[in-house]
Amino acid sequence: MRPDDVEGAYRVARGVLFARGPGEDEDRLRERQLRRIGHLLQTDAGGAWVADRDDEVVGVAQALLREGLWGLSLYAVEASEQGRGLGRRLLEAALRYGARARGHIVLSTEQPAAMRRYSRAGLDLRPCVAAAGIADLRAVPDEAARVQDAGAAGIPLADALGRAIRGAGHGPDLPWFLQNGARLLVFEERAFAMLAANGKVVLLAAHDDGAARVVLWAAIAAAGPGATVAFDFLTADQQWAIRVALDANLALSPDGPIFTRGQVGPLRPYLPSGPFL
Ligand SMILES: CC(C)(COP(=O)(O)OP(=O)(O)OC[C@H]1O[C@@H](n2cnc3c(N)ncnc32)[C@H](O)[C@@H]1OP(=O)(O)O)[C@@H](O)C(=O)NCCC(=O)NCCS
């Protein structure tokens, strides 16, 4: 992928993958996703691949490497080109970027073709559910009042907690979140949550389930009364988050699975980031 492919990669992903968030218009979605694709092209040029036909981008795969952990950030093939092996070749190219990685993570959609590709690449499937709704805030625990909106000062803690639960910090992706409107909430030295402007908890890691529960409740409350909140990719290891979701009266629904291979750490307590894992 070159910088002038970013627009085409967005167009392909908009056709088959990207959806507008609650209350988000088309221009905002476009700006948000162009910034995300552009950011990773800068940090991980070797993991960014496109397929083209007649100089038009028809497929994209973008992977990142953080401290020995490989993650797939973006993967899409134009609908009319699917099922002919382009996706396989794009994924192989992205995986070569992580050939020496100790672990691999993918957050999959529920698409049969996507799940087949990841499994065929030797990754193991971990089923997931997602939580969303307008939260009932009556069960917010008292400790949530001690959670702080730390801004950039919370980045070293967030990086350290990411390292503890998946063996790799999120490095340059943490400031990216803050530059793009997210809030970084921290609880003591034990937990952090990244809350996007649209009420979605886009990343969370903690030292223990109790601290994870407190920071998740604080994030739900910080979204404001009546706001739609959401967090997804809850594996069976995140029972603490499933309980918070139900206590907040959010609805659970099936989600795409997480795929992993190699040494990825305990991955708990953890709510991963779609683009940055
Ligand atoms: C996932 C995606 C990128 C794969 O690209 P692709 O070009 O279709 O991939 P390929 O043709 O190389 O492989 C698709 C595989 O799925 C299989 N497949 C396709 N449709 C299927 C279906 N409905 N049920 C089961 N298998 C299916 C194909 O037979 C092929 O398997 P094979 O190579 O073992 O025969 C593409 O389908 C896509 O853009 N999907 C929508 C976006 C998405 O969900 N992206 C994943 C983000 S995590």
- Kindly list the domain boundaries of the chain, sorted by start residue: 3-101, 130-256+265-271
The token duo for 135 is 């939260």
Distance CA 186, CA 157 (A): 8
18 lines ligand 1 (CB under 6 A): no
Atom of ligand 1 lying closest to residue 12 CA: 39
**Under 8 Å between Cβ of 122 and 94:** no
Q: What are the backbone dihedrals phi and psi of residue 233, each rounded to the nearest 5 degrees, phi first?
A: 55, 50
Q: How far apart are CA 269 and CA 211, in angstroms?
A: 9
Residue 180: CB within 6 Å of ligand 1? no
In the chain, alpha helices (H): 6-16, 26-43, 86-96, 112-120, 155-166, 173-179, 209-222, 239-247
pTM: 0.96
Nearest to 214 by CA among 229, 230, 192: 192
Residue 257 Cβ contacting ligand 1 at under 6 Å: no
Query: What is the model's pLDDT at position 14?
Result: 98
Q: How far apart are CA 29 and CA 173, in angstroms?
A: 19
Mean pLDDT per 10-residue interval, the chain, length 277 residues? 98 96 88 97 98 97 98 98 97 98 98 98 98 96 98 98 98 96 97 93 98 98 91 98 98 98 98 96
| Pocket flag, ligand 1, residue 84 (CB < 6 Å) | yes
17 lines ligand 1 (CB under 6 A): yes
Which residue's entry shows tokens 């943490």? 174
Determine whether domain 3-101 maps to CATH 3.40.630.30.
yes
Cis peptide before 22 (omega within 30 of 0): no
Q: How far is the CA of 13 from the centre of ligand 1 (A)?
A: 14
Q: What is the identity of the amino acid at 215?
A: V
End-to-end CA distance of the chain: 21
- Total length of the chain: 277
Task: Specify the pairing of strand 270-271 against strand 201-206.
Answer: antiparallel
Residue in this structure with the two tokens 């603490």, named with its chain if needed: 240
Tell me if 123 CB under 6 Å of ligand 1: no
Closest-CA residue, ligand 1 atom 24, reads 112
> Fold for domain 130-256+265-271?
Aminopeptidase (3.40.630)
Q: Give the integer Cα–Cα distance in Å for 260 and 123.
A: 5
Distance from residue 112's CA to the centre of ligand 1 (Å): 6
| Cα–Cα distance measured from residue 86 to residue 110, given in angstroms and rounded to the nearest whole number | 19
**How many C-beta neighbours within 10 Å does residue 185 have?**
27
Closest atom of ligand 1 relative to the 86 alpha carbon = 7
Atom index in ligand 1 nearest the CA of residue 107 equals 48
**Fold equal for 3-101 and 130-256+265-271:** yes
Q: How far is the CA of 117 from the centre of ligand 1 (A)?
A: 7
Q: What is the pLDDT of residue 224?
A: 85
* d(C-alpha 188, C-alpha 274), whole Å: 26
Smallest CA separation from ligand 1 atom 27, residue: 113
